[in-house]
Structure 1
Amino acid sequence: MVERHLIEPSSSVLGVIVDEVRQSPLLALIIFVPVALVVERLMPDSHTLLFLLSVVAIIPLAALLSRATESVAAKTGDAVGGLLNATLGNLTELVISLAALQAVQYLLVKASLAGAIVTNTLFMLGGSFLLGGLKHHIQEFNRVNARFQASMLFLATIAVLVPSLISEVDQPPAPAVSQTLSLGLSILLIVVYGLGMFFSLRTHKELFASVSHGEEEKKPWPMTLALALLVVVTLLVALVSEIFVGSVQVAAEHLGMTPAFVGFIVVALVGAAAEVTTAFSGARANRLDLSIGIALGSAAQIALFVAPLLVIVSYFIAPDPMTLQFWRGAVTMMIVATLAAVLLSNGGRGAWYAGVMALALYAIFAFTLFVLPPANPL
């Protein structure tokens, strides 16, 4: 009896994992995680190969993190679920950015943050409108929730604009002033984000109910499996992120890219791979509220929580504190992307051509950054 008791949970967990891989072929890429770790040990100077392997390896890890977080949140309720989403929803980008901070690659960190905001608001949101609209003609969504998320994102872009503007005046202040300003704004943004979660999950949660009716979400994993995977996958993401950050500079030169383009486009897309898949699937299932919540909610989370948190953490793990000062092109792209999200979410209805326009704007930004990267690292 004891032996049987020990075997059954193991086979149950294995069955859950096998079923998940069957439902999400993206998880088959998990094989590249050990491959990347082995190659890093055997051929540490093969930077381009290590860069490509780490990019592919991060994709299934991000998918597992997203799925495990959803399962834990489903078991703990809205309040704890909101806190989990704040701390774990963008864990892939956060771990990559922490590794880049320790390597003093501030340009890569800021490019990945700006790219994540633009990717979520234009690529993810635009793709959801396009794919959902092609199947369902016209889709409705809760515009109160969409406009709330877009407003929080707009507030964050203004906070980023302020330290970037003061560096452009005739007599720019000393670096210490910019660091102090960025630290104060970071604390303010985290407080605002916390109050925003309390507003949407507690005091006015009735305003944020979904208006779309589609297929049900996936069945959540057992709590033990979800928590175990959160720990294991987080460690693997940290290991793969070190490989990525260590190889990105040399690999970018060999591939004709700059760290800014890699951070703005590649890191943002790789880190959001799991969320993009969920958002697109939700739109196709006529659950546009889910897609918009993922896209705008993740963008607001990056701007109001992840970026300020990195500024605070940089005081402890980096040689010099990071600031919220971005190059002008990145600030412009974030503001334009935020305004586009406000316009797209204003009517409460979505159609496929709205997605085309958002994706076209994203393509313009990506091509411009590839051809004309920022000249001065920050």
Structure 2
Amino acid sequence: MGKVFAIMIAAGVPLTIAGSLLHWPSVVMFVICSATVIALSSYMGRATESLAIVVGPRVGGLLNATFGNAVELIISIFALKAGLVGVVLASLTGSVLGNLLLVAGLSFFMGGLKFKRQTFSVHDARHNSALLIFAVVVGFVIPEIFSMSMTEAKTLNLSIGISIVMIAIYLAGLFFKLVTHRGVYASEGNETHHEEVPEWGKNKAILILLAATAAVAYVAESLVHTFEAVGEQFGWSELFIGVIIVAIVGNAAEHASAILMAMKNKMDIAVEIAIGSTLQVAMFVAPVLVLISLLFPTPMPLVFTIPELVSMITAVFLAISISNDGETNWFEGLTLLAAYFIMGIGFYLL
């Protein structure tokens, strides 16, 4: 598979450049750019996996989530520049749903097929549960409720204030987990602790991460320019493009890495990727995009549609219910996947 992705990158980047210069059809460019981003994401996933072996599961999971979300952040910035605020908000919704239901669901399902019972740190699970409720239920619902009685200018100001608070709490949460309380809650997972050799050395992994991120930044701009034309041709709404297409393409690295970790019975890393990435999207990526949008003609308030909000809240409480006991199996993974497909059908029909 590694050779396939290498060929896709070697062909995809030059083809993206050629297609942009020669103005190839939007559908062709959409396929080329999407495939190239997914291939680049796979290399980012392999690099972060190598780093995770060196620095440990918590920091490794955080690195994976950060560089996985970097792809979506880059795509979203170009979408904001193009004035596609609806696509960006929908892609944030898609990230929350994708990480909590699709990534976690596939990880639990694939890992559960190999191991009858898999466990992970119940302390981390409960800590993340409280943050999920704060991030999605408080951080996203409050702007929606208050915006009903506010002007657009006041709603934007409210969104800016909430964004600053969310970023501060997210950074404080990292300080809590990685500094003041690092090692206080020891992992209770049943992971196999044998000496592993990383695929790439530390310096090589960092170099690949930086190079892949730079390549994604270029390809993402071309990808964003295809959204409107492709949406019109296939009858896809901005909501569907953002919730399903952008979220899956943008989070490809995390999807692959979390599933791989679960199949190796490294559930602490798998859960950290799925849940940690959701928290990062809600508490850091979304607020940062609100602040960055102020640089463009069309600023983005942190106000989602009712279907988006209800879907995210449902996903949060379902994920909390399944993960709070610190163990999982294939049937619980299947339940999360079923919820994702039900919501996907709904967004497609909208």
TM-score by length of 2: 0.91
Alignment partner, residue 21 of structure 2 = 41
Task: Check conservation: 1:68, 1:230, Cα contact below 8 A.
Answer: yes
* Matching of residues 174-189 of structure 1 within 5 Å: 174-189=151-166
Residues 270-298 of structure 1 show CA distances to partners (whole Å, capped at 9, x for unaligned) of: 12212111111121122222211110011
Name 1:336's counterpart in structure 2: 314
Partner residue in 1 for 2:81: 102
Pair 1:107–1:215, CA change in 2 (3 A) = farther
- Runs of 5+ unmatched residues, structure 1: 1-19, 373-378
CA offsets per residue over residues 159-209 of structure 1, 9 Å max, x none? 111111223x4xx31111111111111111111111111111122222153
1:272 to 248, 251, 265: 251
Deviation at 1:347, TM superposition (A): 1.5
Matched, 1:290 2:269: yes
Report the Cα distance in structure 1 between the residues aligned to 2:164 and 2:181, rounded to whole angstroms: 24
Give the C-alpha shift of residue 72 in structure 1. 5.3
Look up the match of 1:166.
146
Residue equivalent to 2:44? 65
Match of 2:2 in 1: 21
Partner Cα separation in structure 2 for residue 62 and residue 335 of structure 1: 28
Which residue matches 2:334? 356
Aligned residues: 346
The aligned runs of 1:248-263 (5 Å cut-off) are: 248-263=227-242
Moved over 6 A (4+): 76-83
Q: How far off is 1:348 after superposition?
A: 1.6
**Paired residues for 1:1-378 under 5 Å:** 21=2, 25-30=4-9, 31-42=11-22, 44=23, 46-71=25-50, 88-157=67-136, 158-167=138-147, 169=148, 172-206=149-183, 207=185, 209=187, 211-214=189-192, 219=198, 221-316=200-295, 318-372=296-350
Distance, in Å, in 1 between the alignment partners of 2:130 and 2:6 is 34
Contact 1:116 1:299 in 2 (8 A): yes
1:232–1:139 CA distance, 2 compared to 1 (3 A): closer
| Change beyond 3 A, Cα 1:91–1:210 | farther
Change (3 A) 1:146 1:363: same
Q: Could you tell me how far apart the structure 1 residues matched to 2:213 and 2:40 are?
A: 8
Change (3 A) 1:276 1:26: farther
Superposed CA deviations along residues 134-182 of structure 1, whole A, max 9, x for unmatched, are: 1111111112112222321221112111111223x4xx31111111111
In terms of Rg, which structure is larger?
1
Aligned-partner residue type, residue 165 of structure 1: I
For structure 2, the 5+ residue unaligned runs are none
Relative to structure 1, the CA distance from residue 335 to residue 93 in structure 2 (aligned partners, 3 Å threshold; closer, same or farther) is same
Pairwise CA distance, 1:330: 0.6
**Paired residue type of 1:161:** V
Task: Please say if residues 65 and 273 of structure 2, whose CA atoms lie closer than 8 Å, have aligned partners that are also in contact.
Answer: no
Higher relative contact order (CA 8 A, sep 6+): 2
Q: 1:304 to 1:175 in 2, by over 3 A?
A: same
Whole-Å Cα distance in 1 between the matches of residues 55 and 264 of structure 2?
A: 26
Query: In structure 1, the residue corresponding to 2:223 is in which secondary structure?
Result: helix
Identity %: 36
Kept in 2: contact 1:40–1:243 (CA 8 A) = yes
> Structure 2 counterpart of 1:175, which letter?
E
Structure 1 vs Structure 2 CA RMSD:
2.3
Instruction: Report if aligned partners of 2:68, 2:252 keep a CA contact under 8 Å in 1.
Output: no
Alignment check: 8 A CA contact 2:41 2:252 kept: yes
